[in-house]
Amino acid sequence: MATLRRKTKPSVEVATQARAQKTRDAILRAATRVFSRYGFAGGKIEQISRLSRTHDRMIYYYFGSKEKLFVEVLETAYARMNEAEAELEFDLAHPEQALTTVVHFVWHYYQAHPEMMTLLNSENLQQGKHIKKSGQVARLSSPAVQVLDQVLRAGVEKGLFRDDISARDLYIEIAALGYFYLSNRYTLSAFLSVDLHAADNLAHWKAFITDITLRSVRKWPVNAAVQSDAAQRALAEAR
């Protein structure tokens, strides 16, 4: 009597897919290294294929073009930062400590992943013409902003934070304070005659950006909230 066999994907096909994914990942890692060092214009397909131990034609097979590969490198950089941030543990019952955790995460992530800053520097020199073609980048920004939105809401509910701060503005503030220092530390060190790479200066800036971020969101005491007419007009014009 014949027996029915459950159809399963052939092991050969599974192995083939695994090899293909391994090759694709190797190309992506190599492209990240090449583009972060030479930028989009300076990075060559030949360099990427050599570093990934593949062939030029395989890069075009998996990614279609140099530009599409570069866009995926950028998308991957954002996605990995989101994944790392998703692992953060903080208690919304303590909004200031939660915000401090986020600030410290961004600061340390930029230091641990300098390739992200150089990739973004390269793309900004191109006025973002490649990343604009991404179908993923707008979605990738949402998790980072949502984390800050949760922290802000918790702080407002407890009467600790102002209610006129947007998560988007806070995201830009935190990113800018860390990114500018680290991406410009070589020129700033020469210009200001100070070693901004030194451990004590890095620790100082970490403390500074933490303090200034917390100050920017804290709800002012009633007796300290009175502004001069000139300050009020300036604030109104800025809005």
The verdict on 56 and 75 lying in the same domain is no
Report whether 69 contacts 63 (CB < 8 A): yes
Residues 6+ apart with CB under 8 A from 48: 27, 30, 31, 34, 59, 69
User: What does the H/E/C string look like for 105-116?
Assistant: HHHHHHHHCHHH
Q: Give the domain range for residue 36.
A: 10-64
The verdict on 54 and 159 lying in the same domain is no
Q: Domain holding 51: CATH number?
A: 1.10.10.60
Sequential pLDDT tens for the chain (239 residues): 444 455 555 666 666 677 878 899 999 999 999 999 999 999 999 999 999 999 999 999 999 999 999 999 999 999 999 999 989 998 999 999 999 999 999 999 999 999 999 999 999 999 999 999 998 888 888 888 999 999 999 999 999 999 999 999 999 999 999 999 999 999 999 999 999 999 999 999 999 999 999 999 999 874 444 444 444 554 455 45
Q: Given this model, what pLDDT does residue 20 score?
A: 79
Q: Given this model, what pLDDT does residue 10 score?
A: 61
The whole-model pTM stands at: 0.82
Output the CA torsion 76→121→42→58 (10° steps): 10
Q: Given this model, what pLDDT does residue 139 score?
A: 85
The verdict on 75 and 121 lying in the same domain is yes
Report whether 94 contacts 158 (CB < 8 A): no
